[in-house]
Chains A and B, each alone.
Chain A
Amino acid sequence: MRGNPLLTPTLSFTPEHEAFREVVRAWIAENDPGVEPINYSDRLRAAMLWQRDLCEAGFIGVSWPTEYGGQGMDLTAEAVVAEELARSSMPQLINRLAVYTWGPTLLDLGTEEQKQRYLPGMLNASEIWCQGFSEPEAGSDLAAIQTKASVDGGELIISGQKVWTSRAEISRYNALLVRTDPKASPHRGLTLLLLDMEFPGVTVRPLPQLLDEPHFSEVFFDDVRVPLSAVLGDLHGGWGVSMAAMGYERGLFVLERMIRLKRRLADLVERLRSDGNIEQGLSEIGRLYSHLEVLRAQIYRTLAAQGAGELQPGASSIDKLFMSEIYQDLFTTGFDLLGEGPALEDDGWAHDLLESRSVTIYSGTTEIQRNIIARRLLGLR
């Protein structure tokens, strides 16, 4: 263990950050759109309007450079917005995949033309993004994808199928991972495309998930022609691009989750208190609260490392793994403490309990995260 760091840097909020926090908090308090609609499509529409308003107020992508619609602030300011947003009625950005993951990846790896074209629509949610990774035969084993794209002059022709693509139905763009060199080794023959979902040959078929909401879809590609300018990074360099994006998928995304879970824990406390059952739940509340506080420290460390450009590959798997565990712990524990209520009344708890089963699956299952920690952080083979 010699050479391992002892203590690690964490986020520090300056007086300027705290002043900015007050501005964001006051704006949200005044403009909060109110409780999320229950109906799925109403909910989507409300979420798009909310992100548009937040963008107009200057609160989306605050760490992005000003020439691409950002505010040129640091990642800590971005954390301030995520924390304040999490207190609002609609804590999740509808275009979070674009704002937290693909936007920053584009900023790092995109051409000037790509940045000009795609970044503004990410921020104001006028163009929603999805991510085309998983396939029927390639879930955890991402490098086994079969959807192929062959070069034909100045174009690529895509054919194949993706599955479990979240928000594909409402997405204008797809960060699509395809196989461009079938002869190369699995990781080397991949390319990341920025695909316009309105191109001919793209078919989206909603696939109701276990809540019977059309949150994800199957997406089919029948000889879809895209220009070579849609390639992000290098042709056949898609694995590296995808891993760079995964590095961004953690920090702010997990921060927002953590605060949302804190709010749900407060809801649970409130319900137990009004039922007069709070004493029974003390240990469970103590455990959930402690774990959320530890997660906060972990996320601040990740964000500090990201801000300094020093995030160790694989390190943020810890954030994802622990967040998913707490997520499921919270909703199952609540179910156990709340009596028959959540089983008999549509009070939102059962919805979130069912939804929580996805957290240890999407974006790299818990088992994959453990593999990554074993390989990247412990050097095991």
Chain B
Amino acid sequence: MTELEELSAAFDESLADLLPMSKLLDSARGGSEMNAAIREQVYGLGWPTVALNQEHGGLGLGAVGVCALAMVAGRRLLPAPWRDEALLLIPCLAMSAEAGDRESEGLLANTIRRGGTGGGVGLRVGQDLVLDSTTDSANVSFPRLAFFVPSGGSLVTVLGHGRAVVVEIAGSGVTSESSRALDLGQGAVFLTAESTPLTDTRLLLGEEVESVAQIWRAALLAEAVGAAEQALALSVDHATTREQFGQTLASFQAVSHMLAEMKKRIELGRSAVSMMANTLETRKADGGLMAAYSYAIPQFCREVVESAIQVHGGIGFTWEYGLHLYYRRILQIQARLGGKNETLVEAGRKAIASMA
């Protein structure tokens, strides 16, 4: 086994213990994030430092490593705010600290230890940050955006095009309202910023931001594949044990072909995520490829879980079995990346541009 395989296997095993279905369901039903003790245990595994470079004490994993672990996170339904904290906020805080922001340094150390500082979001096609710069500071505005923020979190990262800002939730000009989002228990909150003052160390620009943004997006895709894969595993298990008409469900060709179609979509997703991750190890991904995958992978994964619910019959529709959590997560990721229609049109535009 390679080092990364060992790391992923250990992470998978620990998450399976720490995040059993019963706890995930409790958190979803209560509408609140997994309790802080579990969060500290997961953070103790090194999760928050996966995307952080080694100068800041991170694991320094590249895109391949981050995507592999994100796939595991998807299988185990790691809470979304922890994902955004590790893959967006932490790398951005590190950049901010490097730019000389003393407070970011402290926040970074604290977040790595316990988590709970904040989350992040990427802007959709056509949206961007509005910056009003003066000589020594800037004001930032952005429209009503949804974030997944850990309970008690104070910061969010907003990814614009070629730039990002780290904004204080309690900052002046920021209004917030919590929301009961589809992906329950993930700390969804809507924020709007209207001329919120920003120190220049919290305004991040350049290639490095773009790289963080692309890895985050790739990780969301990997997470979706991981979640879909788990839904298929449950489906295969169910179809090979549950009997109707005196035979297992899987022995009906109508069912086995559904399972084969699910497998096809997952393996296609895995191939695509692998190629994207390998590309991001050495260079930026082409915009066309990112648009294509942002449409295709979440859509494939969504179809997998829709079939999984069908294969399970009534059991799949129950609260306690929990298949709906994979569905919720994948829908959340699809929406986060722009949604089916927007990503399709974007992929179409990129395709046409590449053929001009």
Which A residues have a C-beta under 8 Å from some C-beta of B? 1-2, 4-10, 12, 265-266, 269-270, 273, 278, 281-291, 293-298, 300-301, 315, 318, 321-322, 367, 369-371, 373-374, 377-381
Contact = CB atoms under 8 A, between A and B. Distances in A.
Interface in B209-268: 222, 226, 229-230, 232-233, 236, 239-240, 250-251, 253, 256-257, 259-261, 263-264, 267-268
B230 A1 contact: yes
Residue among B261, B275, B277 with the highest chain A CB neighbour number at 10 A: B275
B281 to A, nearest CB: 10
Contacts of B267: 298, 315, 318, 377
Nearest to A283: B344
Contacts of B85: none
Nearest to B341: A283
Given A10-B271, A367-B257, A371-B260, A284 B229 contact: no
B305 interface: no
Contacts of A380: 236, 239-240, 250-251, 256, 259
Contact of A282 (B264, B273, B275, B349): B349
A97 to B, nearest CB: 25
Nearest to B68: A6
A287 B229 contact: no
A268 to B, nearest CB: 9
A373 B12 contact: no
A370 B272 contact: no
Residue among B222, B233, B288, B295 with the highest chain A CB neighbour number at 10 A: B295
A369 B263 CA distance: 12
A300 B274 CA distance: 10
A285 B352 contact: yes
B347 interface: yes
- The secondary structure that dominates the B interface is helix
Contacts of A287: 295, 344, 347-348
A7 B270 contact: yes
Contacts of B348: 281-287, 289
18 contacts: A4-B229, A8-B270, A286-B292, A286-B347, A289-B292, A289-B347, A290-B292, A293-B293, A295-B268, A297-B275, A298-B271, A318-B267, A322-B264, A369-B260, A371-B256, A371-B257, A373-B260, A379-B236
Nearest to A369: B260
A367 B279 CA distance: 34
A294 B296 contact: yes
Residue among B277, B345, B348 with the highest chain A CB neighbour number at 10 A: B348
Contacts of A379: 236
A377 B291 CA distance: 29
A278 B352 CA distance: 9
Contacts of A266: 355
Given A285-B348, A374-B259, A374-B263, 8 more contacts: A1-B229, A10-B274, A286-B344, A289-B351, A301-B271, A371-B253, A373-B264, A378-B263
B256 A7 contact: no
Contacts of B240: 380
Contacts of B296: 290-291, 293-294
Q: Size class of B's contact patch?
A: 35 or more
Contact of A8 (B236, B271, B295, B351): B271
B236 A378 contact: yes
B92 interface: no
Given A7-B277, A318-B268, A286 B351 contact: yes
Nearest to A292: B292
B39 interface: no
Nearest to A373: B260
A370 B260 contact: yes
Nearest to B70: A6
Contacts of A295: 268
A244 B213 CA distance: 43
B274 A9 contact: yes
Contacts of B260: 369-371, 373-374, 377-378
Interface in B285-330: 288-289, 291-293, 295-297
A377 B268 CA distance: 13
B274 A290 contact: no
- Of all A-B residue pairs in the complex, the 8 with the closest CB atoms, nearest first, are A286-B348, A289-B351, A286-B347, A282-B348, A290-B292, A373-B260, A297-B275, A370-B260
A318 B75 CA distance: 22
A283 to B, nearest CB: 5
Contacts of B72: 6
B277 to A, nearest CB: 6
Contacts of A318: 263-264, 267-268
B304 to A, nearest CB: 13
B75 A290 contact: no
A102 to B, nearest CB: 27
Nearest to A284: B348
Contact of A374 (B5, B256, B269, B343): B256
A300 B277 CA distance: 14
Contacts of B278: 7, 10, 12
Nearest to A269: B355
Contacts of A265: 351, 355
Contacts of A285: 347-348, 351-352
A378 B262 CA distance: 10
A377 B263 contact: yes
A325 to B, nearest CB: 9
Nearest to A299: B271
B263 A282 contact: no
Nearest to A272: B352
Residue among B75, B269, B276, B296 with the highest chain A CB neighbour number at 10 A: B296
A243 B132 CA distance: 66
A171 B291 CA distance: 45
B346 interface: yes
Contacts of B259: 374, 378, 380
Contacts of B268: 294-295, 297-298, 318, 322
A290 B8 CA distance: 29
B344 A370 contact: no
B71 interface: yes
A14 to B, nearest CB: 12
A286 B345 contact: yes
Contacts of B222: 6-7
Interface in B19-46: none
